[in-house]
Structure 1
Amino acid sequence: MCGAGITTTDGKVRTVDVPWARPGSGFTLLYEALALRLIEREMPVNRVAEILKVNPQRIWTIFNHWISKAKAADDPSTITKLGVDETSTKKGHHYVTLGVDLDEARVIHVTEGKGKATLQSIQQHLEDKGVDKEQVEQISMDLSPSFIAGAAESFPSAQITFDRFHVVKLLNEAMNQVRIAERKEHDALKGHKYTFLKNRENLSDKKEKELDELIQLYPTLGEAYRLKVLFNDLWEMPDKPTAEAFLRQWCDEVDAAKIPAFIKFANTVRGHWSGIVHFVESLISNGILEGINSKIQLAKRRARAVATSTISLI
């Protein structure tokens, strides 16, 4: 209950606020805390409502109240390193872009879309909270041209680090294109997609042995795999001059190998050189964003499952 009834001197009953409930809520603070805890544990709202024996809208009301209160009280005043990434919210081209304080590992703003305007929205949110755009010194993001343009305009003092996970994803796509081309001519490569994409330490003993045999049997595939493994040494370079020297040598080796998919990737590296090399100085990535995006996708799948179950019962 949200209040207690007292009897006045004239015999009437009057409701008064009590310290264990929020005025107008209809629930105790402990009840609301339980509802939020269940949601935090990634339980769908409909399921929370079922457990607590109330209409789902009442749970949404509790959720919206406390989230709104938390957003209003949020203080991003110490942010200097910003991570930016987009994720889909439903089928089709529906996206949101997340801005994350990389030092605090927490979301500071979410906005619809995935283009240049999303960086402007994040900057405006920070400005509304009293954070000058010049305060953001580092940004980690993917290689999207619209993100690059948005960062340059909205956070002109920030140095860009292109997220290593996105760069490695492009490298693995190049590796897979080589495998697909070779697979068309060699049936022995069937079922070995992840043999070449996984890190060697993540392979079983059997797969590791098969990998060693395949890179000996198919020289083009073997050279592509060597270049893939070698590239990832970049992330361990001690400083910028060493990283740049390493990367120049790597690109020269790609040119000599004449493997089209890797030449294309090397050209992408050359076009985004400073932001890739800058990782060895900034040491920032979008790893925390990948974890947050995974939770968003999990929530989306669970919501779809609940909707499907509801429809099947109608």
Structure 2
Amino acid sequence: MGGFYNVDGKKLSRQYRDHLSEFKDWKQKPHAKQWLIFPENIGSYLSIDETALSKGELYTIITNKKAKGKKGSIVAIFAGTKVSTIIEQLLKLSAKKRAKVKEITLDIANSMKTIAKKCFPKAIQVTDRFHVQKLALEALQDIRIKHRWDAIDLENQEIKEAKIDNKIYKPQLFCNEDTRKQLLARSRYLLYKAPQNWTQNQYERSKILFQEYPDIKTAFNLVQGLRTIFNTAKSLEIAYTKLAHWYKDVEQSGFRAFNTIANTITLNYISILNYFINRSTNASAESFNAKIKAFRAQFRGVKNIEFFLFRLTTIFA
């Protein structure tokens, strides 16, 4: 842009920030680095999530689902995740405004639940189903990764033995021509997907993987069982019953990580089961986080936090 007008780009950027934009007269500038609140954007259905704006520094963002990621989306932005600071600022809003909120979606973090309970007491809390499923997927991938490290150790040992015997090392190949190490590495993505979405190659690889590692197959079936509950349960009562059966399968598997997930679900079962009321998720918050990242990339990073927040809120608040 600066080159088009034969003006130094950095100079043009400073001129825009200091003179052409309304940044200097921005009413929220004095406290922008700590908190930003837009009471007029509060709606009946909100999402709360955290995202990194610059250098890994986390910000807590509350968004209005009805705005669908457009103007009016941002309800509040807070630097950090400190519960007491966020609650202090939100409680400055009138009780009538906060009582408008009927439902708020969030992740499993207790800090988010505390904020929602204190500031939006009449809102139903809904734990995002994808955060619950993510825990199960991470437990599954942990099992795969442990086997992969064992396979790497085994291969290294076999290579050393071949060198000692002055032989050329030839790794064992499965029928799809994967080595054991490659089989475990290349199975990463198929374990994230439902079987009906596998390609032919992934289907063949899964058959070998599950035959060689029955524990991975068991863990995969637990992940798919949890996904099926969220996809097919048509009411809160049905979901509750199906989760009880899933708990039994977890106990029989003996996997410590899955027992931890089951305990997490037990401790948060009310907000998790609330998903089946309106089938609400935190997808809107995740989508908005992606927009922030794209916005940040467009301006090649965040050099001035206040100015970045000014531009962000001008578009989305």
Q: TM-score, normalised by structure 1?
A: 0.71
Q: Which position in structure 2 is the counterpart of 1:27?
A: none
Measure how far apart 1:303 and its partner are. 4.5
Q: Does 1:287 align with 2:283?
A: yes
Residue 90 of structure 2 is aligned to residue 123 of structure 1: yes
State the shift of 1:172 in Å.
1.2
User: Residue 87 in 1 paired to residue 51 in 2?
Assistant: yes
Consecutive unaligned residues of structure 1, counting only runs of 5 or more, are 1-47, 308-314
* Aligned residue number for residue 80 of structure 2: 113
Is the aligned partner of 1:57 residue 2:24? no
Identify the residue that residue 274 of structure 2 maps to in structure 1: 278
* Secondary structure at the counterpart of residue 186 of structure 2: coil
* Residues 1:165 and 2:146 are matched in the alignment: no
Q: Figure out how many residues of one structure are paired with residues of the other and give that number.
A: 256
Give per-residue Cα distances to partners, 1:107-133, cap 9 Å, x unaligned.
222221123246526734753xx8522
Native 8 Å contact 2:296 2:302 kept in 1: no
- AA aligned to 1:97 is T
Instruction: Tell me: higher relative CO, structure 1 or 2? Use CA pairs within 8 A at least 6 residues apart.
Output: 2
Determine if the alignment matches structure 1 residue 297 to structure 2 residue 293.
Answer: yes
**Contact 2:38/2:75 (8 A) holds in 1:** no
- How many Å separate the matches in 1 of 2:24 and 2:230? 41
Residues 96, 182 of structure 1: alpha-carbon distance in 2 compared, 3 angstrom cutoff: same
2-structure distance, mates of 1:150, 1:59: 37
Residue 195 of structure 1 deviates from its aligned partner by: 2.1
Deviations 1:2-23 (A, max 9, x none): xxxxxxxxxxxxxxxxxxxxxx
**Residues 119 and 201 of structure 1: CA distance in aligned 2, closer, same or farther (over 3 Å):** farther
1:229-265 CA-partner distances (Å, limit 9, x unpaired): 1101122311110010011110111001111221111
- Residue type matched to 1:210 in 2? R
Report the secondary structure of 2:51's partner residue.
strand
Cα distance change, pair 177–141 in 1 and its aligned pair in 2 (3 A) = same
> Which residue among 220, 223, 230 is the counterpart of 2:218?
223
**How far apart, in 2, do the equivalents of 1:101 and 1:125 lie?**
19
Residue of structure 2 equivalent to 1:138: 103
Q: How does 1:22-61 map to 2 (within 5 A)?
A: 48-51=1-4, 53=7, 55-60=12-17, 61=19
SS in 2 for 1:87: strand
Q: RMSD over aligned Cα, in angstroms? A: 3.0
- Going from structure 1 to structure 2, the CA distance change for 1:271 and 1:55 (only over 3 Å counts) comes to same
Preserved contact between residue 210 and residue 217 of structure 2 (Cα < 8 Å): yes
Is 2:105–2:126's contact at 8 Å kept on the other side of the alignment? yes
Q: Does 1:241 align with 2:237?
A: yes
Select the residue among 262, 266, 290 that pairs with 1:266: 262
